[in-house]
Amino acid sequence: MTAIWDFMFFLSSGVIAQQPLTVYKGSMSSEIDFTSGPLGRELVAFAMPLLLGNLFQQLYNAADSLIVGNFLGREALAAVSSSGPIIFMLVGFFNGLAAGAGVVISRAYGAHDSERLGRAIHTDTVFGIIAGIALTIVSVLFTPHILRLISTPEDIMKESIAYFRIYSAGIFFSVMYNILMGILNAVGDSRHPLYYLIFASVLNIVLDILFIGGFGMGVGSAAAATIISQAVSSLLCFLRLLRNSEPVGIRLRKLRMNRKELGNIVRFGFPAGVQNSVIGLANTVVQASINVFPAAVIAGAGVYYRIEGFVLLPITTLSLSLTTSVGQNLGAGRYDRALRVSKMGMAAASVIGEAVAVILFITAPLIMSLFSSDPDVIQAGTAQARTEALFYCLVGVSHSAAGMLRGAGKSAVPMAVILGSWCVFRVIFLRIALIFFPVPMTIYVTYPVTWLLSSLIFAVYLSRTDWLHAMDRSHM
């Protein structure tokens, strides 16, 4: 046990990047300060490790689907796929709160307010611990009821319960990783979370192959491999923050809630948390609609959503980068730089979104075949990919606009837009359309329609409001 603990400290130390962390930007610092220097270079330097980190994070779920689909078959793959929206819904709220904490922390960092920065980091950590424990208890106890609410077919119910209950037992680590990663990202350190994710993702793949391919264990072992890997990545982030110098580090004796900082975290993070949860709820409704079709359609949709998580990573990464860069520049009073980086990020997200769309459109059958050799699964997944992919530029517009506005402290705006278009309108549109066209294609078309709606609303808002200068500082 001592050897394992020492190895964790080795990974979280400066062995990979030998220089110690400093509070504010220096020539050898791990943090990136967006308030000075060439914006394009800083944005790329911050976004690339974040992109690679998110890429490896996606490997957690993709490895489960890839190995389960090839070793255990169509029904097992459908069981894993049916849990995806539920997991997103449960974890999404706390991840949104973590994003709110990132705004508070990046503002304090940009303003060089060491005292407020330390309070926010420790408050965020304690909140994550409490929230993670509560979510784990609820999700484990109510696993069968949750799966029945989304119309999980009886022929895959047993395997679905096995996978989801074991995964739920480790949701605490998923919450904590996102909280701790958010702290590191908020102060411009996107490199160390990348190192930890690479290690944990490789571990997840090895354990998946060992448990399923080597020992012949069932679908629940894929969830076990995932939570073990998530525990490792969250522990490494925590150890890194323990080693950081103050105020960007964690000190155990200072782990307590600060009412003012908790209020700021909730104020900025609650809208994003509600947005994530309701999006998860809407996607759960969509999943329930998919679950009435044959197992091949369920499995094909599940594989597509795994692939979509990968191909949209450049867009979601840019959104996170915009939140940090806009937050830091507004904290430093650099409105000109905040506006420039916002325009740069939105243009890049739109172009990149369409570029990856073309690639996916062409290669969809080949990629699907990596997850399953079943021709019906490949056909269903390819149909969904080719229906939705060419509209990824709209996803780029919506995600980048949301990231910009969160960085400006206006989290309620993207929450309202996303909830209205991706949740309320999506569910209503889907329910009505399925009455007249009860086929899987109706579900696939629903997504581009709602992406278009949100993009139009964001475009109107950004063009008609002084969103950058209307930032609320009253509680900061």
The two three-digit tokens of residue 414, written as one number: 């993207």
From the list 411, 422, 321, 304, the residue with the least C-alpha distance to 368 is 304
Give the whole-angstrom CA distance, residue 55 versus residue 319: 15
Predicted pLDDT of residue 36: 62
The two three-digit tokens of residue 262, written as one number: 């908790």
Domain locations in the chain? 40-464
Predicted pLDDT of residue 37: 61
Q: What is the DSSP letter of 245?
A: P
CA dihedral 126, 127, 132, 133 (to 10 degrees): 70
Contact in structure between 458 and 397 (CB atoms under 8 Å) = yes
Question: Peptide bond preceding 49: is omega within 30 degrees of 0, i.e. cis?
Answer: no
User: In whole angstroms, how far apart are CA 221 and each of 213, 227, 339, 411?
Assistant: 11, 10, 48, 38
Contact in structure between 105 and 117 (CB atoms under 8 Å) = yes
Task: Using alpha carbons only, give the angle 185, 191, 196 rounded to the nearest 5 degrees.
Answer: 100
SS (H, E, C) 334-356: CHHHHHHHHHHHHHHHHHHHHHH
Low-confidence ranges of the chain (pLDDT < 50): 1-29, 471-475
Residue type, 253: R
H/E stretch holding 357 reads: helix 335-371
Question: Peptide bond preceding 375: is omega within 30 degrees of 0, i.e. cis?
Answer: no
Give the whole-angstrom CA distance, residue 298 versus residue 359: 24
The position carrying tokens 């997200």 is 349
Rounded to the nearest angstrom, the gap between the alpha carbon of residue 82 and the centroid of all alpha carbons in its chain is: 18
Report CA Rg, the chain.
21
Predicted pLDDT of residue 34: 63
Give the whole-angstrom CA distance, residue 405 versus residue 464: 14
Predicted pLDDT of residue 10: 42
User: In whole angstroms, how far apart are CA 233 and each of 180, 418, 422?
Assistant: 10, 30, 31
Contact in structure between 66 and 238 (CB atoms under 8 Å) = no
DSSP codes of every residue in 37-54: S-HHHHHHHHHHHHHHHH
